[in-house]
Structure 1
Amino acid sequence: MADAKVQNSSGGQQPEHSVALAPHSVDENGDDIVQQQSRFKALTDVFSKLRDNAAHNFKNAKPMSEVFDMTMFSKPSSFNDVLSRLRTNATYFKTNYAVLAVGTTALVMLLNPWSLIVLAVLALVWFYMYVIKTSALVIGGREFSDREKFWLMSGGSLFVIFFLTSVGATIFYSLGLSMVMIAAHASMRIPDDTTLFEEQVPDEASSLTGLLSMFRPKASTVFGDAV
């Protein structure tokens, strides 16, 4: 409660006015509801940007008639030719290859429902710890900072994925399968003049660096000072 006394022009005092400072609302667990709403909005903004970027980059995908144009396939003449094709086609068909990798990973995950369950549980734990629970994390009487909580959660998640379950093996299998298919296509596909031109003038707006940099400010809002 703050009291303010204001003098008028004649030197007298006006009646006191009480200015109430409204406290933040908290739930039964002591978590700040306003901060919960702010973090949830930041999280939805991240996913909105991710969706918009995915839609934008998907427009750059080459048509299937061009990807599988059988007249443009041949056996590479040398190892250097393989490397040249891999580099050129990886740039030209990067959106198609990204879609292939995501689709392959999704299919492998659907065939392994246990992996989906584990990832869903981990996602819920992260959501609770960084969106629902705004109060400090206390374990054994010790209070952890945002940075310590982030690394603790990261280490625990990696331990579950790669040591306690087979989720890590499933992820590596799907990524490995994707890389084999991408390498097979890129090494056999003959780069044409358009491919060579686009390799020299890459689309910086759709680069991985540009994509990730867009999310960092909002991600920092969600994870506090941890990132």
Structure 2
Amino acid sequence: MSSQSLPISDPQSTATVGNGAWSTTISTSPALRAFIARLTESTRRAFERRRPWYELIDYTAFSKPESLSDATSRIRKNYNYFRVNYITLLTAVLAFSLFSHPFSLLTIVSLIGAWMFLYLFRASDQPVVIAGRTFSDREILGILSLFTIFVVFLTSVGSLLMSATLIGSGIIAVHGAFRDPEDLFLDEQENAGVGLFSSFGSSATSAAVADVMARV
């Protein structure tokens, strides 16, 4: 009985994608784990700053702005106060639009997955092999960039995202213009700007960005 050597997999590797013609080893890289952990923590902290929704829809606080400058001032103040609520609302509009169009949702998920696993968080020592040919990082970057341009500008996905963004932004602008912010109290520190992902200036994110830039 002839003995055959068995392949030994890296304990950090999760799977080998493909059947030989299209293959790349996907691993749970430290950069990906750090990014997911940071994203989760930042989202949790942001939602701790979410304002009560009843303040957002309090009909007694709505009034017609006196002028365009008054409307602009109201939008700015309301955005600073309801920042997380507004971003949540915009995300909900985008999610509803995508779930209403399953093909567009699948396309976006596939595009994001391709960027994450084939380029952003793929270890540099794990090559991408398609049809027996090994592709370099620059070639993968070029292919993904062209595919992204095609999806965003030459398919209905881009118009769907743009339409949903405009609708969500329009709702936020109308609410901000007609919601009188006089009863709202915003700390100066928060007024300086605390976005949903503002805490991404950490070493984990910097390391991930540095890893991506090193590939270019």
For normalisation by structure 2, the TM-score amounts to 0.74
Q: Residue 144 of structure 2 aligns with which residue?
A: 153
Regions of 4+ moved over 6 Å: 24-29, 136-139
Note the C-alpha offset of 1:135.
Answer: 2.1
More helix by share: 1
Deviates more, 1:55-64 or 1:208-217: 208-217
SS of structure 1 residue aligned to 2:152: helix
Task: Tell me which of the two structures has the higher relative contact order, counting C-alpha pairs closer than 8 angstroms and 6 or more residues apart.
Answer: 2
CA deviation map 1:168-194 (0-9, x unaligned): 111111111100110011000111254
1:44 to 28, 33, 58: 33
* 8 Å CA contact retained: 1:110, 1:116: yes
1:94–1:124 distance in 2 versus 1, CA, 3 Å? closer
The separation in 1 between residues aligned to 2:189 and 2:183, in whole angstroms, is 13
What residue identity is the alignment partner of 1:155? L
The separation in 1 between residues aligned to 2:134 and 2:74, in whole angstroms, is 56
Q: Residue 135 of structure 1 aligns with which residue?
A: 127
Q: Residue 6 of structure 2 aligns with which residue?
A: none
The separation in 2 between residues aligned to 1:68 and 1:208, in whole angstroms, is 21
Percent sequence identity over aligned pairs: 26
Note the C-alpha offset of 1:155.
Answer: 3.1
What residue identity is the alignment partner of 2:166? G
2:71 to 69, 82, 85: 82
1:61 lines up with 2:79 in the alignment: no
Deviates more, 1:165-174 or 1:211-220: 211-220
* 8 Å CA contact retained: 2:46, 2:195: no
- Write the mapping of 1:1-227 to structure 2, written as runs, cut at 5 A: 37=27, 39=29, 41-130=30-119, 131=122, 134-135=126-127, 144=136, 146-147=137-138, 149-163=140-154, 165-192=155-182, 194-195=184-185, 197-198=186-187, 200-202=188-190, 206-207=194-195, 210-214=198-202, 216-220=205-209, 223=212, 225-226=214-215
SS of structure 1 residue aligned to 2:198: helix
The separation in 1 between residues aligned to 2:46 and 2:37, in whole angstroms, is 14
**Which structure's CA Rg is the greater one?**
1
CA deviation map 1:2-58 (0-9, x unaligned): xxxxxxxxxxxxxxxxxxxxxx969897x997xx5462x321321221121111101
The separation in 2 between residues aligned to 1:121 and 1:69, in whole angstroms, is 40
1:118–1:138 distance in 2 versus 1, CA, 3 Å? closer
Note the C-alpha offset of 1:95.
Answer: 0.5
1:142–1:37 distance in 2 versus 1, CA, 3 Å? closer
Alignment size in residue pairs: 197
Structure 1: where are the runs of 5+ without partners?
1-23
1:84–1:123 distance in 2 versus 1, CA, 3 Å? closer
The separation in 1 between residues aligned to 2:89 and 2:71, in whole angstroms, is 20
For normalisation by structure 1, the TM-score amounts to 0.71
Deviates more, 1:207-216 or 1:153-162: 207-216
The separation in 1 between residues aligned to 2:135 and 2:59, in whole angstroms, is 62
CA RMSD of aligned residues (A): 3.6
